[in-house]
């Protein structure tokens, strides 16, 4: 289970690899939202997303226990993070990606020192392959969210937020598999439970919303959102119980709202973020919280975009 202690351990464990990311503010955004908004900028984190936090915590532990090879199944931010930290620790890594993965993402994985293997088009094909390679090479497979070390690593974002914005009333977090949210929930609710923590999903990728409604893990078959980090089909076996225990609320945002927030942050704040991160800002901009004059932290989870695709995000 992820605990506050494990998150403190994770913070020590990853300190020499990750950076303490800055908070961004905008008077214009405050005016639109009618609240004081602080954007926690994980888009300027090493490898361009918070994923390096969990990956570093998990891969370091695996290498200490003797792992000689690291694998993951992700062409996105998790794959980049795993390749980066494995390389830094001097261990070879292989990232299993879909046949149709875009070149810019493969280039990023390779630039961080990861080997690439293409396999199928679904995670049902990639996952067993990545696990098989790990077994054969005397190594370990690194899951993207459903693991106590990963969740604890992501939870360090929560500890930093409490340090940086002592007067925070509300924290808004995007939800994919729920690793980031479950980590932040544990850090916040076991340190300063008066702070509200609210999750955000795209309307068209509402698997966690449906799961909470049903009181059990429920999956969706299609998640046609531009927020590609949030297309997970269901919350995790380990992350979901943490959400059930601690989550204050879950907000849904439309594709149009995500695009609007993306454009605002790029044009007005000069920050290049990814659509997955624009969801939390959209929630604040479009008054989804139903509050005014509160101190609200919206987590910008990452900033990796294929610049040639950017016109699809407006």
Ligand X SMILES: *Cc1c(COP(=O)(O)O)cnc(C)c1O
- Smallest distance, ligand X to C-beta of residue 66, A: 27
Among 82, 262, 274, 285, binds ligand X (CB under 6 A): 274
DSSP state of 49: B
Among 38, 84, 145, 262, binds ligand X (CB under 6 A): 145
Q: What mask, x for binding ligand X by CB under 6 A, covers residues 71 to 110?
A: ------x---------------------------------
- Smallest distance, ligand X to C-beta of residue 299, A: 8
CA 209 – CA 202 distance, rounded (Å): 10
Is-contact 14 57, C-beta < 8 A?
yes
CA 240 to chain centre: 15
Q: What mask, x for binding ligand X by CB under 6 A, covers residues 232 to 271?
A: x---------------------------------------
Among 82, 170, 175, 195, binds ligand X (CB under 6 A): 175
272/291 with CB nearer ligand X: 272
Q: Which pairing describes strands 196-202 and 140-141: parallel, antiparallel, or unpaired?
A: unpaired
Q: List Cβ neighbours of 48 (8 Å cut-off, separation of 6 or more).
A: 77, 80, 302, 303, 304
DSSP string computed for 174-200: E-SSSHHHHHHHHHHHTT-TTSEEEEE
Is-contact 242 146, C-beta < 8 A?
no
Size of interface with ligand X, in residues (CB under 6 A): 21
- Smallest distance, ligand X to C-beta of residue 45, A: 10
Which residues of this chain interact with ligand X, rule CB under 6 A? 49, 51, 77, 145, 154, 174-181, 229-230, 232, 274, 276-277, 301-302
């Amino acid at each position: 289970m992820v605990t506050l202690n494990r998150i403190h351990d994770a913070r020590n464990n990853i300190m020499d690899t990750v950076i303490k990311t800055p908070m961004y503010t905008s008077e214009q955004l405050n005016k639109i939202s009618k609240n004081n908004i602080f954007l926690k900028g994980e888009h300027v984190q090493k490898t361009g997303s918070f994923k390096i936090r969990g990956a570093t915590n998990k891969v370091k532990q695996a290498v200490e226990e003797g792992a000689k090879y690291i694998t993951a199944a992700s062409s996105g931010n998790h794959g980049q993070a795993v390749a980066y930290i494995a390389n830094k620790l001097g261990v070879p890594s292989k990232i299993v990606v879909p046949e149709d993965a875009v070149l810019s993402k493969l280039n990023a994985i390779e630039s961080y020192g990861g080997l690439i293997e293409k396999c199928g088009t679904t995670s049902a094909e990639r996952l067993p392959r990545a696990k098989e390679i790990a077994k054969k090479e005397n190594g370990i497979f690194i899951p993207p969210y459903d693991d106590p070390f990963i969740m604890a690593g992501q939870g360090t974002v929560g500890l930093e937020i409490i340090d940086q914005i002592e007067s925070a009333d509300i924290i808004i977090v995007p939800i994919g598999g729920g690793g980031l949210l479950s980590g932040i929930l544990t850090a916040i609710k076991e340190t300063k439970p008066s702070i509200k923590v609210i999750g955000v999903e795209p309307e068209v990728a509402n698997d966690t919303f449906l799961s909470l409604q049903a009181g059990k893990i429920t999956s969706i078959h299609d998640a046609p959102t531009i927020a590609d980090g949030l297309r997970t089909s269901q919350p995790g076996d380990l992350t979901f119980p943490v959400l059930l225990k601690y989550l204050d609320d879950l907000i849904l945002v439309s594709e149009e709202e995500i695009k609007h927030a993306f454009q605002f942050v790029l044009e007005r704040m000069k920050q290049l973020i990814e659509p997955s991160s624009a969801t939390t800002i959209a929630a604040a901009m479009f008054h989804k919280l139903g509050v005014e004059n509160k101190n609200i932290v919206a987590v910008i989870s990452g900033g990796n975009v294929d610049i040639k695709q950017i016109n699809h995000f407006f």
